[in-house]
Each structure stands twice: as structure tokens, then as C-alpha cells.
Structure 1
């Protein structure tokens, strides 16, 4: 449970640090720089994961895990492949939202996604709803609703310059 909390905190931190890197280090915001940022982050994450896999000795268990998979070896490889592909799409979307809007908005959308995944898991896969999961869902909904309310409030209180801007000048 503590690892999940740390992972959530670090993911939010990574998005904020990525936005900071765009502003302070990269200093250009275009599609190529977004893709470069995603590729470099994923390359570092892959290297760290592989180092951990080999350092812990768990790489020896992969073959046994593949053979014990209920649906067969091919299904095991396909599941891992599709997880990797969808994770990359998620990362492109998250960094794209960060690039277009902000890291805060990207985090808010991630919270909404987590909420939807838990609900769909409970409905379609009869995933059990524990107290911690229910609390995390309530907090995710609260965070998203709070973000949207603040955006609504800020938008409502911002003067808009329309076709008749003479009313604001004088």
C-alpha cells in the first residue's frame, strides 16, 4: 500500500518536473520536443527497471511465470505487449496534456482515469471494493471536481475581451 502512495506522489512529481524541464531546459514547446521528452524518460525508466530486474534476480522467474500463465505463453506475451503499448499511449497523452495545458490538468485527468478504471473493474470484472479503494476513489473524484470548479471560478471572474472592448477601456 505504501508503494502505491509513493508511486502516485512520484508520478505527480514527474509531471511537474517535466513541465519545469520544458520551461527551463528545453525552452521550446513543439511536437518534436514532446516526443523527445517522452522517449528519454521512457529510456531512463526502462534502464532503471532492467537494472532492478537483474539485480533482484527476478529475471530467472519470468520463464516459469510465462509457463504457469493460464491462457498460455502466447497470451502472456500479448498481454505484456498490449500493456506496454497502452502505457506508451497514456504517457504520450499525459505529456501532451502537460504541453497543451499544464501538469496540474494532466494530473487531474489521470485521477479521473483512475476513478473510471476502478469503477469499470468493479462492474465488469467483479473487482472487490475495499475501504482503501473506496477512499482513493472519493479522493480522486474530489480532486477532479475541485480542479474543474476552480477552472470554472477562474473563467467566470476573468474579464473577456470580445468584439466590444470599449467597455473595458474606459
Structure 2
């Protein structure tokens, strides 16, 4: 059952991480300029979570008169803090996307996995095996190859200043996201509560709400909401496709949020970082199809290294599960 939950979250993460950045990039390529708007889209779809939370709550409420799905105050405070950090991270990432091609996700993937590994070691005391170390090294180097080749995909007419700024903003976003993932795992462990599916959705809703609030304030200050109709009218692909791209991006990015958080809760932050990095070369394939970006030999090599690293991690987890008793394994990876 747990394996199916992890698999389901990985599928959501794949859908969101592959399609979300491509849709955001299409928005910028065809006349979109509102960076806070695209940052806001990452979590603006959070109201969609209210429906499954309500259904689950009503179902369990009928079985008992006691409310079992109230988020502990400690976890609410952690969710607020992580939500604000996620809002900052979203802006850093979308700022980089406005000046860099989708290939920038290669750099994000390689740096993010390195930071996730470091923070997972110090924050949640994650124990590394030689299989997981091998996976981190292979995927980091595979994604770094894409990052080194990224300059060859520089958009025509992009200034050196904007390109460099986007480059460093992306590194900052990768480092911050690398901290958020193990911090979320740590917050759950310190709350000392049994994680249910409903509680997971409530925590995700809280984090998304605070991140959305953070991005909404500068949108109001910059009058982004008032500019949307004008920007839609001037969009190169037409107003209808403008709104369609924004709506689909919001849904895709929400899938990425649910999948990313679900993988952390149902497995570990390190596994979440590895899956995220594994999807980097997959993004490259779809960027070639959707955005006509080139697919070089370096990208093929990176794909092979990332797949090799992911296989190493999965095999290591398989051996670990067969060596350790189930009780000990469950103490390290809380069940959803």
C-alpha cells in the first residue's frame, strides 16, 4: 500500500514538474512579463484541496463524534514559516525562468539535490548508504552536465546582465528549496503526530495558503491583477490561450506541490530530491518537443547518468527493506 502511495505522488510530481515549467516558459516567451503572477500560480490552486479534505472529514466524522483531523498548533506554525519560504523560493525560480530556457532546470536539479542531501543529513539525520551516495553523485553530475551546457541554449537577444541575474537567482532558489524539503520532514517528526492522508492535505493546504498570501501582497502593490486583461490582449498567442496557459500552469504546479510534499511524507526528503533531479532530463526531452530546444549528446549522457543513479537508489532501498525488520524501517519512514 505504501509503495502505491509513493508511486501516486511520484506520478503527480512528474506531471507537475515536467509541464509546469514549460507552460511558464511559454508564458514568458510570448509576451508575459509578470514574475509575481507566475510565482503566485505555484500555490494559487490550493483551494482545490478543500474538496478532498471536506469529503474525508465528513466520512470520518460519521464514524466518530471527535474531530480527528485538526492540525496541531506546532505544525500550523511550521507550515506558516515554510509557506513564506516557499513563496520566496517560487519567486526566485520564476525570475530565473523569465530569462533562462527550460534547460535552467538542469542546474536547479543538480544544485538542489546537493543542498537537499546536506540539509537532510544535518536536519533529519538521514543515514546514507553507499547506494544513496552513489545515486546523489551520479544524478548531481548528470544534471550538472546539463547546467554546464546551458549557455548553448541562451535565448536570442537576452542580455548578459539578465542572463547572469537569472542564473544566480536560480541557484538561490535551488538552495532554498533544498532546505525546505528536509525542513518539512523535520516539522512533521517534531509535531509527533500520526500522519494521515487528511492531515497531509491540511498541512499542504496551509503551506500553500501562506505561500499564496506572500505572493499576493506584491501582486497587489504592483497592480498585477489590474494588468492581466491588458497583458492578455497583447499576448502573442491570443487572450484565450493566455488564460488557458495560466490555468493549466496553475493546475500543473499544484500537482507538483502535492506530489513533492507527498513523496517527502510517504518516503523521505532525500528520495524527493532524487526524484526531482531524475525528472530534469525528462524536462529536456519535453522542452525539445514543445519549445524546439536542442537535444545534444550532453543531454543524452545526463539522462543515462540520472537513470543509473535512480536505479542505484531504488536497489539500495530494496536491499535495506529485506535486511531490516519492518518495525525499524517504519520508524525511519512514517506511513501516510
TM over 0.5: yes
- Equivalent of 1:84 in 247, 250, 263: 250
Shift of 1:53: 2.0
CA RMSD of aligned residues (A): 3.0
For each residue in 1:33-69, what CA deviation from the matched residue of structure 2 results, as whole angstroms up to 9, or x when unmatched? Answer: 1101111111111111111223345555433321111
Aligned match of 2:18: none
Aligned match of 2:315: 152
The structure-2 alpha-carbon separation of the partners of 1:46 and 1:17, relative to structure 1 and needing over 3 Å to count, comes to same
Q: Is the 8 A contact 1:112 1:141 kept in 2?
A: no
For each residue in 1:91-112, what CA deviation from the matched residue of structure 2 results, as whole angstroms up to 9, or x when unmatched? Answer: 1111111121111111111112
Aligned match of 1:64: 230
* Alpha-carbon distance in 2 for matches of 1:56, 1:127: 32
Does the alignment pair 1:108 with 2:284? no
Shift of 1:16: 1.2
Q: Is the 8 A contact 2:275 2:310 kept in 1?
A: no
- Segments of 5+ residues of structure 2 without an aligned counterpart are 1-166, 326-336
Q: Is the 8 A contact 2:233 2:239 kept in 1?
A: yes
Does the alignment pair 1:9 with 2:172? no
Q: Is the 8 A contact 1:108 1:144 kept in 2?
A: no
Aligned match of 1:35: 201
Aligned match of 2:67: none
The 5 A counterparts of 1:87-166 are: 87-128=253-294, 138=302, 142=305, 145-146=308-309, 148-153=311-316, 155-156=318-319, 160=323
The structure-2 alpha-carbon separation of the partners of 1:39 and 1:21, relative to structure 1 and needing over 3 Å to count, comes to same
Q: Is the 8 A contact 1:38 1:92 kept in 2?
A: yes
- Segments of 5+ residues of structure 1 without an aligned counterpart are 163-170
Task: Tell me the secondary structure at the aligned position of residue 175 of structure 2.
Answer: helix
* Alpha-carbon distance in 2 for matches of 1:80, 1:23: 36
Shift of 1:31: 0.5
Structure of higher CA gyration radius? 1
Q: Is the 8 A contact 1:111 1:141 kept in 2?
A: no
